[in-house]
A and B are shown apart, each in its own frame.
Chain A
Amino acid sequence: MSQMVKRVVVGVDGSAGSVAALKQGAQEAARHGAALCPVLAWTPPGGEAADAMYPAPSDIRAHWETEARHTLTKTCERALGAAPFSLNVAPRVIRAEPGPALVASARHTTDMLVLGAGDHGLWHRFLHGSVSRHCLRHAHGPVMVVHPDETEVAEARGKARAPRRHPPVVVPVNPLDVWDRKG
């Protein structure tokens, strides 16, 4: 019938969206009896090009890596609880752009990719693009996009700003009188 999912790859960046994605991914993995692979992709703060021109000293590079690992562990703990997990969890840290790294990590059709929806402004979108959109375009298996809990968004932002609401849905005809259920 439907394809089995053998691996659930979750994109993690430490944001509220990625915590929600990890929670949902853990549920999916438990349901399918699949392995959960949280993946954190990172690039040097100045970008790969700048790092290639003027390579950072090894201790700084080590610091970035430790930082990435730390973020991944923290996010896993926030989403899944303390360290001994009931699931088969295989976290990975990859030095690459997040979109290609996630697509490469979930390269089989039996891999499900779970992402948090970025709640970013236009400026961020323009500079960084959308990871979820890249994955939707290039992934080989199903892709699930999860919206963060509003409480977590408020927590992450320090309640500085109310979570942005989506504009109301404009529906041309009243759906209630055309929902037509039979059989």
Chain B
Amino acid sequence: MRNSVRRVVVGVDGSAGSIAALRQAAGEARRHHAALRPVLVYSSPEGDYVDMMWPPDPETARELAHKAHDDLMCACERAGGLPDDVPCDPVVARGQVGPLLVEAATADGDLLVVGGGSHNVVHRFLMGSVSRYCLRHAPGPVLVIPPEGPAGHGPGTP
């Protein structure tokens, strides 16, 4: 049973797309009887590269992690709360979003769920696409949830 899903890892950043992804991930976890792991990746205010060379002192790091954890819990509340019938394991991590999400979903039987993001060209160029990074690098299946509302960019909506 290599293909069966045992854990659903979902990337959450507080945006509307990620809330939709979290809802879908909770449903998937329930149907597969799998664990749910919401992951919030944050960066320090100075940015990832400064952070890499001069890591913040432990106290600042702890504060940042606390704040990120609060944000994650807040996002979970907005998605309708974490489900009771599924084992949940929310985590936060500091660094680059794509690599850390992939890192969080490397175990056998992990399904990675991310929101599609509806960004414009400038944003795409500056930030890249997290979902595309995950598709390219994740070892397991990746589920991408399109942004809600009118499925805008399809040319002919039926």
Interface residues of A in 80-107 (CB under 8 A from B): 103, 107
Contact A175 B135 (CB under 8 A): no
**Cβ distance A150 to chain B, nearest Cβ, rounded Å:** 10
**Cβ distance B18 to chain A, nearest Cβ, rounded Å:** 14
Contact B103 A175 (CB under 8 A): yes
Contact A1 B69 (CB under 8 A): no
**How many A-B contacts if CB must be within 8 Å?**
118
**Cβ distance B66 to chain A, nearest Cβ, rounded Å:** 9
Interface residues of B in 3-34 (CB under 8 A from A): 3-5, 23-28, 31-32
Q: Assess A147 versus B139: contact at CB under 8 Å? Given A20-B3, A171-B95.
A: yes
Is B75's CB within 8 Å of the partner chain A? no
Contacts of A179 in B (CB 8 A): 91-93
B→A interface (CB under 8 Å)? 2-5, 23-28, 31-32, 48-49, 51-52, 55, 61, 65, 69, 73, 80, 83, 89-96, 99-100, 102-104, 116, 131-132, 135-146, 151, 153-155, 157-158
Q: Assess A137 versus B153: contact at CB under 8 Å? Given A24-B3, A180-B69, A181-B89.
A: yes
Going nearest first, the 8 A-B pairs with the smallest beta carbon separation are: A2-B27, A172-B52, A31-B31, A140-B151, A144-B143, A146-B141, A169-B99, A180-B65
Of listed A24, A109, A178, residue having the most chain B CB within 10 A: A178
Contacts of B51 in A (CB 8 A): 172-173
**Cβ distance B70 to chain A, nearest Cβ, rounded Å:** 11
Give the number of chain A interface residues (Cβ < 8 Å): 41
Contacts of B94 in A (CB 8 A): 173, 178
**How many Å lie between the Cα of A77 and that of B24 in the bound state?**
30
Is A51's CB within 8 Å of the partner chain B? no
**Cβ distance B13 to chain A, nearest Cβ, rounded Å:** 16
Q: Assess A142 versus B145: contact at CB under 8 Å? Given A136-B116, A172-B52.
A: yes
Q: Assess A1 versus B26: contact at CB under 8 Å? Given A133-B132, A175-B93, A178-B65.
A: yes
**A133 closest partner in B (C-beta):** B132
**Cβ distance A147 to chain B, nearest Cβ, rounded Å:** 6
Is A10's CB within 8 Å of the partner chain B? no
Contacts of A143 in B (CB 8 A): 143-144, 146
Is A124's CB within 8 Å of the partner chain B? no
Contacts of B83 in A (CB 8 A): 1
Could you list 8 further interchain pairs (A-B, Cβ under 8 angstroms) beyond the known A142-B146, A172-B96, A175-B104? A2-B28, A103-B154, A117-B135, A140-B154, A147-B140, A178-B65, A178-B92, A179-B92
Of listed B3, B23, B26, residue having the most chain A CB within 10 A: B3
Contact B69 A173 (CB under 8 A): no
Contacts of A166 in B (CB 8 A): 136-137
Contacts of B155 in A (CB 8 A): 138
